Amino acid sequence: MLWNNQKIIQDLVEKGRVILKVIISVAVLGIMAGVFFAGQRPTAYYPVPLLKSSCPPGFKLNENNECIAKNLYSQYATTNKAGVGGLKSALPEIRDGFTPQEIDLGRYLFFDPALSADQTVSCATCHDPDKGLGDGLATSQGKDRHKLKRAAPSLYNVGYLKKLFWDGRATSLEEQMLEPLFSKDEMGNTPENLLNTINEIENYRKLFAEAYPKRDGDQPIALNEITKAIAAFQSSLVSLNSKYDQYAHGYDEALNKNEIEGLNIFRSFVARCAECHTPPLFTNQQFAVIGSPEPDGLPLDPGAEIPFNDKSLRGAFKVPSLRNIAQTAPYMHSGRFKTLRETVQFYTDGRGHAVPEGENLLIHWHIWEPNLTDYEMDRLVDFLKTLTDESFKPKTPEVLPSGLKIST
């Protein structure tokens, strides 16, 4: 009897050991599976909505399913019809005609860090909608927080621009975006790795088929399709409904007394701001040498001299638009000035006063000694703040096709 009890106990112990081993094995496999899948890029597990079938604000859908720019400036026949800085001037030609689906696909790509080598940096990292489509830094940061040489320009109204980058070295949005994508200091990717990454993501294969229904469904996603979709989205980033715009189109009460005084100073032949920052785009899209200082200890940035191989453009930079300027501090190509008031002060301090010793720059002829008073500079700042308009600010996706976390 005692022997039978001992045998039963031994059998129970042995069975318990077997059960325990099974439990431990299952747990280990579960942990290993969790670790494995955590390191994989989700593809089909993050469904995204269908692409939008309507145009973004500021665009109207035509019979060919194309988004065509539509705004009050369209009623004016020619640029600068009412003179330099005039209220009723037309905008230059915009790049439009993209489909709503193409634009929305570009929006997903713009916010997706899957486009970078280490999947931590997206276009929106340097062009954050909550920061005026800039990044709020003196000079931008790329992969591994590498500090870049220049500030990130705002992308508002970029579809109207003919030259891109501070030094104007790109002439199309597609050409422009290749540099940050494949620069080792920015997104650090390669064409081969980018295409492999995007083609592996099931959601992107579906979205590209939806945006480009005539493409062969078995054909891999191509680089020119990626850049075109992002260009479509960037071209839709318009800002044309500020207090200034309302005033320009006839609503006299849009600006208060101080702001109107600032506008008059801006357009005057004393301050001469409008001669380079010409309304309604608030840039003449030309290059100017203004002699703005570099950060302490850094040599002069040669600017447009390098891409154009032209010594007369040493220290020249493309005149930036002032749209949403109050949202995009700090200012200048190097982020040298923290406030608008500091920036305005630089222009009134005199022609070439900040040019480094030993440099013989050809300062733009519009830069002189306006000798503005403190009151006039304050009114200028009041006016510049009326150029803020985020009513058409793009919506950040709630979820990305890659399943990655949004990087801004």
Sequence spans of domains, the chain: 59-235, 243-387
Tokens of 348: 């009134």
Side-chain half-sphere exposure of 215, counting CA atoms within 13 A: 17
Choice between 16 and 65, residue whose per-residue pLDDT is larger: 65
- If one compares 169 and 1, the residue with the highest pLDDT of the two is 169
Residue 90 has pLDDT above 80, yes or no: yes
Q: At the top level of CATH, which class does the domain 59-235 belong to?
A: mainly alpha
The pLDDT score that the predictor gives to residue 49 is: 78
Could you give the CA distance from residue 161 to residue 94 in angstroms, rounded to a whole number? 8
pLDDT of residue 304: 97
Nearest to residue 183, comparing CAs of 196, 170, 171? 170
pLDDT reported for residue 218: 83
The answer to whether residues 102 and 235 touch, using CB atoms and an 8 Å cutoff, is no
Under 8 Å between Cβ of 67 and 236 = yes
Q: Is the pLDDT of residue 170 over 80?
A: yes
Q: Flag whether pLDDT at 36 surpasses 60.
A: no
Strand partners, 147: 141
243-387 has the same fold as 59-235: yes
**Do 70 and 236 contact (CB within 8 A), yes or no?**
no
State the average pLDDT over residues 190-202: 97
Q: What is the pLDDT of residue 79?
A: 67
pLDDT: which is higher, 81 or 364: 364
State the average pLDDT over residues 349-377: 91
Residue 287: phi, psi to the nearest 5?
Answer: -100, 145
For residues 89 and 5, which has the higher predicted lDDT (pLDDT)?
A: 89
Q: Over 60: is that where the pLDDT of 107 sits?
A: yes
pLDDT score for 213: 92
Residue 136: what pLDDT?
A: 95
Instruction: Provide the pLDDT for residue 308.
Output: 97
Split at pLDDT 50, 70, 90, the class of 182 is very high
Q: Does domain 243-387 have CATH number 1.10.760.10?
A: yes
Look at residue 50 in the predicted model and tell me its pLDDT: 87
Does residue 28 surpass a pLDDT of 50? Answer: no
**Residue 89: per-residue pLDDT:** 84
Give the residues across from 68 on adjacent strands.
60
Quick one: average pLDDT of 318-322? Answer: 97
| % the chain with pLDDT above 90 | 75
Q: How many CB atoms lie within 10 A of CB 47?
A: 11
**pLDDT classification of 11: cutoffs 50, 70, 90:** low
Residue 373 CA to chain centroid, in angstroms? 35
pLDDT at 85: 58
- Per the DSSP assignment, residues forming a β-bridge with 164 are 170
The region of weakest confidence among 237-251, 275-289, 351-365 is 351-365
Q: Which pair of structure tokens corresponds to residue 41? A: 């890029």
Q: Is-contact 182 189, C-beta < 8 A?
A: yes
Q: What is the mean pLDDT of the chain?
A: 88
User: In the prediction, which pLDDT does 158 show?
Assistant: 97
Give pTM, 2 decimals: 0.86
